[in-house]
């Protein structure tokens, strides 16, 4: 029997017979490792312990301590166990697919009756019985006809359709969890007892079209979450409770910030309070960008199809674009335009007007560009996922030699902005070339090498996010972590050698020759709409004082204090504080409760004692009790807090 060589993470290598399994490899190292092993990674591919290994390579044995592979296996096995439980309780239910997703999994079922919350409890109980049985998990590779015959006999039409979608010649792998069988690529655990029975929960049911096609049957999708132990599950469920309390849609209603309606899907109706947040944030970013050496421009909303074809967006991005057809006067055919989904090609048009010299570079061109992108209705989510939005977009036209300095400069710029907005740290991902892309491999090699070198020069070692770059260039993705541990990808920074070539951008170099500039695409916040949603949820509506839409309410305790209330409001407004009067004939406790629900940071109560002393009684949001301050003291203090961080 021929031999293969397997290299371990410590650099040591051993020879094994061809066809050895990862389970046998683990046993050859130590009996204790064989007992703890759950899977293996072979040349970066996650494999089953039972799969034969036929080629030499690098191998690592995974245990439950290896978080990523452990969670993948737990969640994948639970999808199968849940489907088995459903069919054991309701044998007539048809199964489809059950992929792993963030924090858990889902599985789609075809069942005439809707699943109820009580059904979820029954399914969970049956799943725990299956786990307790410690049923073995085994796998086989079948030929296509055997699989078709099997699912025809089982009357599983969705599985037959999945087989039709698998390319000819590709193996069809089958898995059994006990006596229940499913078509699956794997890998899986070795028996159901390896699943932690106290670390999962079924969360909810939703409708889902088969294969996402609205012309296909509507199925029922059961969602679950799972972790390695009950403490991790408990922490996640607590996070979900916190997320529900912080939901920007709920807080948006309570704070009267915005609303959405079906007549304008994916578009935001900003109310005065919400628009105050928006404009304050935009004014802050405008000042920051001016100080950072940017010039601000504005470009058209509706742009001819020709420009999108020239830029490559028509070919690569058309499915996200809103098409606008216009009957031009005396034209024989309609003119086809598109609402711009991004600003980049328009910025190149500005760059191309007039002769540019190397002395003009780097040219940092910014726009608060209103963009429109088609998102499926099922993907829309409050102001976090919309069809119409504004980006704090900018493009830096520079030379290759300037990429490193401009990348570091942007990272420093972004870091300062995030700190001002309450995020002291972030992660950076490096998104590499996608399958569908413009430009040659040589151009992509140059772009990826330049961006990675520049990122490392800025003192950052990014995580690699393979295949997630834009069609025209690699990008950095800046990921924030909010107050309850959720990640949000916001800022981006991309190196682009393709678009300047396609749109014929050039500058005169020092030697008089004409050269292509490099185009750095960058966004700090990304979408204003989405970032405001993140801020609302991160701070649970209690925004930093300078961003709060309603900063101060001055409330009367008795009507005789009304004149002084208005005097206090006027004094605060004169110092730039957003203050309003509440002189309604209501009890002060009622007013305090109402304005606290609206997340007003400071409530000043005025009674006759305050009138006589020319003072105020100040209550802070979420603080017990109040403080008595003189009018001059409270105006000075609140005026200072109302000053944006880039000014104060």
Helix or strand or coil: residue 566? helix
Q: Spell out a b/e string for 369-394, using b for 16 or more CB atoms within 10 Å of the CB, else e.
A: bbbbbeeeeeebebbbbbbbbbbbbb
Q: Which of 184, 344, 346, 398 is catalytic?
A: 344
Q: Which of 159, 173, 395, 522 is catalytic?
A: 395
Q: Which of 80, 248, 521, 530 is catalytic?
A: 521
Taking phi first (over 0 means left), then psi (-120 to 50 degrees means alpha), and beta for anything else, what does residue 583 get?
Answer: alpha
Residue 309, number of CB atoms within 10 A of its CB: 13
Query: Is residue 381 flagged as an active site residue?
Result: no
Q: DSSP code of 322?
A: P
**Which residues have CB under 8 Å from 299's CB, separation 6+?**
340, 343, 346, 347, 349, 350, 367, 369
Q: Which of 76, 236, 248, 373 is catalytic?
A: 373
Query: Is residue 346 flagged as an active site residue?
Result: no
Query: Is residue 391 flagged as an active site residue?
Result: yes
Q: Which of 108, 182, 393, 482 is catalytic?
A: 393
Query: Is residue 80 flagged as an active site residue?
Result: no
Q: Are 371 and 389 in contact (CB under 8 A)?
A: yes
Q: How far is C-alpha 284 from the geometric centre of its chain's CA atoms?
A: 24
Q: Are 539 and 483 in contact (CB under 8 A)?
A: yes
Residue 89, number of CB atoms within 10 A of its CB: 13
Residue 102, number of CB atoms within 10 A of its CB: 9
Residue 69, number of CB atoms within 10 A of its CB: 19
- Express the helix, strand and coil content of the chain in percent, nearest 5 each: 40, 30, 35
Residue 136, number of CB atoms within 10 A of its CB: 12
Query: Is residue 521 flagged as an active site residue?
Result: yes
Q: Determine the Cα–Cα distance for residues 591 and 603; give it in Å rounded to an integer.
A: 9
Query: Is residue 46 flagged as an active site residue?
Result: no
Q: Would you list which residues are annotated within the binding site?
A: 344, 395, 521
Q: How far is C-alpha 491 from the geometric centre of its chain's CA atoms?
A: 11
Q: Count of alpha carbons within 13 Å of 646, Cβ hemisphere only?
A: 20
Tokens of 42: 């072979």
Q: Determine the Cα–Cα distance for residues 337 and 303; give it in Å rounded to an integer.
A: 5
Q: Are 270 and 278 in contact (CB under 8 A)?
A: yes
Query: Is residue 371 flagged as an active site residue?
Result: no
Q: Determine the Cα–Cα distance for residues 274 and 286; give it in Å rounded to an integer.
A: 18
Beta strands (DSSP E) in 342-457 are 363-372, 388-398, 426-431
Q: Determine the Cα–Cα distance for residues 614 and 274; give it in Å rounded to an integer.
A: 33
Report the run of H or E that residue 160 belongs to, with start and end.
helix 157-165
Tokens of 315: 């070919």
Helix or strand or coil: residue 599? coil
What Rg do the C-alpha atoms of the chain give, in angstroms? 30
Helix or strand or coil: residue 614? coil
Helix or strand or coil: residue 381? strand
Q: Would you list which residues are annotated within the binding site for Zn(2+)?
A: 344, 395, 521
Catalytic residue ranges: 344, 373, 391, 393, 395, 475, 521
């Amino acid at each position: 029997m021929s031999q293969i060589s397997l290299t371990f993470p410590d650099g040591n290598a051993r020879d094994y017979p061809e066809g050895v399994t990862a389970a046998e490899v683990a046993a050859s190292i130590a009996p204790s490792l064989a007992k703890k092993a759950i899977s293996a990674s072979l040349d970066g591919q996650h494999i089953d312990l039972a799969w034969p290994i036929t080629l030499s390579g690098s191998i690592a044995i995974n245990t439950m301590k290896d978080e990523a592979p452990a969670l993948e296996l737990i969640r994948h096995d639970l999808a199968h166990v849940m489907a088995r439980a459903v069919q054991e309780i309701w044998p007539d239910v048809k199964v489809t697919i059950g992929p792993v997703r963030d924090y858990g999994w889902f599985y789609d079922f075809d069942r005439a009756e809707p699943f109820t919350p009580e059904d979820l409890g029954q399914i969970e109980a049956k799943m725990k019985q299956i786990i307790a049985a410690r049923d073995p998990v085994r796998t086989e590779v079948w030929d296509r006809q055997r699989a078709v015959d099997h699912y025809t006999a089982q009357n599983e039409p969705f599985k037959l359709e999945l087989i039709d979608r698998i390319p000819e010649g590709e193996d069809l792998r089958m898995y059994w969890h006990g006596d229940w069988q499913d078509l699956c690529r794997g890998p899986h655990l070795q028996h159901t007892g390896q699943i932690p029975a106290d670390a999962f929960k079924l969360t909810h049911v939703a409708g889902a079209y088969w294969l996402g096609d609205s012309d296909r049957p509507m199925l029922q999708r059961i969602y679950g979450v799972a972790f390695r132990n009950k403490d991790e599950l408990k922490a996640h469920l607590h996070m979900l409770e916190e997320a529900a309390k912080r939901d920007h849609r709920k807080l948006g209603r309570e704070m009267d910030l915005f609303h959405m309606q079906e007549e304008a899907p994916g578009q935001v109706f900003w109310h005065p309070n919400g628009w105050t947040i928006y404009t304050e944030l935009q004014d802050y970013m405008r000042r920051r960008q001016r100080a950072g050496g940017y010039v601000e421009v504005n470009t058209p909303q509706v742009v001819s199809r020709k420009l999108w074809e020239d830029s490559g967006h028509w070919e690569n991005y058309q499915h996200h674009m809103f098409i606008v057809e216009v009957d031009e006067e005396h034209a024989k055919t309609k003119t086809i335009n598109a609402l711009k989904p991004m600003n980049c090609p328009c910025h190149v048009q500005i760059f191309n007007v007039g002769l540019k010299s190397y002395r003009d570079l780097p040219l940092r061109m910014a726009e608060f560009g209103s963009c429109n992108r088609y998102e499926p209705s099922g993907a829309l989510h409050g102001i976090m996922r919309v069809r119409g939005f504004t980006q704090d977009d900018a493009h830096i036209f520079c030379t290759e030699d300037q990429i490193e300095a401009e990348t570091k400069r942007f990272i420093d710029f972004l870091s300062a902005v995030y700190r001002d907005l309450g995020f002291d740290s972030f992660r950076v991902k490096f998104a590499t070339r996608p399958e569908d892309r413009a430009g040659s491999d040589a151009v992509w090699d140059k772009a990826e090498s330049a961006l990675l070198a520049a990122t490392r020069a800025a003192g950052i070692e990014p995580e690699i996010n393979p295949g997630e770059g834009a069609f025209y260039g690699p990008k950095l993705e800046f990921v924030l972590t909010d107050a309850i541990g959720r990640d949000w990808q916001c800022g981006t920074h991309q190196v682009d050698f393709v678009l300047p070539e396609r749109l014929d951008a050039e500058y005169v170099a020092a030697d008089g020759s004409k050269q292509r500039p490099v185009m750095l695409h960058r966004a700090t916040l990304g979408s204003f709409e989405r970032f405001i949603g993140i801020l609302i949820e991160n701070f649970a509506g209690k925004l930093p004082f300078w961003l709060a839409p309603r900063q101060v309410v001055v409330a009367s305790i008795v009507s005789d204090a009304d004149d002084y209330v208005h005097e206090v409001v006027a004094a605060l407004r004169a110092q730039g504080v957003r203050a309003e009067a509440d002189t309604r004939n209501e009890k002060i406790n009622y007013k305090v409760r109402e304005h606290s629900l609206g997340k007003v940071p400071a409530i000043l109560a005025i009674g006759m004692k305050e009138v006589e002393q020319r003072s105020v009684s100040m209550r802070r949001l979420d603080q017990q009790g109040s403080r008595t301050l003189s009018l001059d003291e409270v105006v000075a203090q609140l005026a200072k807090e109302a000053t944006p961080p880039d000014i104060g």
